[in-house]
Amino acid sequence: MARIAVIDDKEILRESLDEALSREDYSVTTFSDPIAAVEAIKQEWYDVVLTDLKMPRMDGIGVIRELAAAGCDSPVIMMTAFATVSTAVEAMKVGAFDYIQKPFEVDNVLVLIERAIEHSRLRRDNEALRTSLDDLTHQRRLVGSGAVMTALRAQLDQVAASHATVLVCGESGTGKELVSSHVQRYSPRANRPLLALNCAALSASLLESELFGHERGAFTGADRSRKGRFELADGGTLLLDEIAELAPALQAKLLRVLQEGEFERVGSSTTRRADVRIIATTNRNLEAWVAKKQFREDLFYRLNVLPVSVPSLRERKEDIPELIEYFVDRATKADGCGTKTLTRSALEAMIEYQWPGNIRELENICCRAVTLCSGPEIGSDLVGPWVRAKTGRVLEGFSSLREGQMLQDMERQLIERTLNKFSGHRAKSAKALGMGVRTLGMKLKQWREEAESEERKLVAVGV
């Protein structure tokens, strides 16, 4: 619930605004004394401040200056019966969000308040995203000087310079989000908003609202209008993670935005426009999904303008020593436990390992080793059980696995046997496999859907 502060020396106006705004589910606090109001606002956050211009002891301009000096960045709307060009200019110069002339309609005030709240929300989102990008810039980077990573960096430099749509593909844990952030950071839109949305994390209806926004009353719980990610990211970049999980109806709507730059909020017939660069990521083979009619072909081609394939760790084993040094150094600095290094035998075991969880798994094991190692050297006796459990040696008991077998089939057999071992317990199975529970769930969902599709085909032909 948004909190509104109303400052006016006229009791009738305070009461009227309190009643009207409370009906709209705003939390309203009124003040008759501007000095007391400023002191209260310094102590508590308000989403919007409504202040009169002409008041005893301190005018509205003074209120804005005092709040700004105290570091309060709540948007301020000036109310005045003396609206002149010079008054408006002065109010905006000292930091007012907007102003409204008395007498006014309540609906006009509500429109201004909604705009102010949205403006404040967007500013905070941008600050949070900028902080996140700064963290990635200074704390996380693309590590690896081997030939594969050198070629990837050269490609990313070319991709970043463009405004075209980017499709980042790769296995889970390879660093697709980091690659996407790298593209944004060095793009012509680097100083514009970067918003991200996980397409697998929300239901289709909620995802549509998050993407395109909604109008008040569009659905149960929509108590006020809200901008979607496309409007908020206008002029910037929108990262759509796990794009393959997008529902078919939303695929069609996304296609329209990519083609025309147009969309409608949920519950609205008003067409809106947005200039947004799309970066989409997926761990799926979208071409195979297109062939199975599980993903729109026209949307695939719209997304696949600038394709980027992030290599698995198995394809860049020459970078493993450098990555280990990087992650161990980060972990020791974070824990403040002093320098630690891997013994030769531990390093060899790590290089030999096939890393089904890719970079994410490597980072987790490095952090675990730093935490559990009591001395300056991390030996093979510590890391060996974590990596030997899934090297080629453990597959000797898997008589059904053979040379030349499809990697996807091997992965499925390994996952199925691990689930059987843990009686279907996903969390334990995912931990043993070195992957996230969500990733495991997505793979199981994909196989279930494929099985159902095959079953429908058999029924259709009368088998």
Span 280-290, pLDDT tens digits: 999 999 999 99
CATH topology of domain 150-309: Rossmann fold (3.40.50)
* Residue at token pair 């102003």: 99
* More confident call, 82 vs 385: 385
Matching CATH topology for 150-309 and 313-395?
A: no
- Beta bridge partner(s), residue 77: 50, 98
Other beta carbons less than 10 A from residue 237's beta carbon:
23
Q: Mapping DSSP to helix (H, G, I), strand (E, B) and coil, where does residue 350 land? A: helix
What is the tens place of the pLDDT at every residue in 15-48?
999 999 998 889 999 999 999 999 999 888 888 9
Residue (of 325, 434, 430) closest to 370 by Cα position: 325
- Output the pLDDT for position 204: 84
Distance CA 182, CA 288 (A): 28
* More confident call, 340 vs 416: 340
- Output the pLDDT for position 264: 93
Lowest average pLDDT, out of 123-127, 129-133, 202-206, 302-306, goes to 129-133
* Average pLDDT, integer, range 208-220: 88
* Average pLDDT, integer, range 48-62: 92
For residue 77, which amino acid is it?
Answer: I
Residue 121 confidence (pLDDT) above 80: no
Lowest average pLDDT, out of 108-112, 167-171, 312-316, 402-406, goes to 402-406
pLDDT band at 221; cut points 50, 70, 90: confident
- Output the pLDDT for position 30: 95
Residue 171 confidence (pLDDT) above 80: yes
Give the percent of the chain with pLDDT over 70. 88
Segments making up each domain of the chain, as ranges: 3-116, 150-309, 313-395, 408-460
Distance CA 236, CA 220 (A): 31
Enter the pTM of the model: 0.59
Residue 396 confidence (pLDDT) above 50: no
- Architecture, CATH, for domain 313-395: Orthogonal Bundle (1.10)
- Output the pLDDT for position 7: 95
* Average pLDDT, integer, range 342-348: 93
**Cβ atoms 178, 140 nearer than 8 A:** yes
**Cβ atoms 21, 28 nearer than 8 A:** yes
Of the CATH numbers 3.90.1150.10, 3.30.479.10, 3.40.50.2300, 3.40.50.1370, which one belongs to the domain with range 3-116? 3.40.50.2300
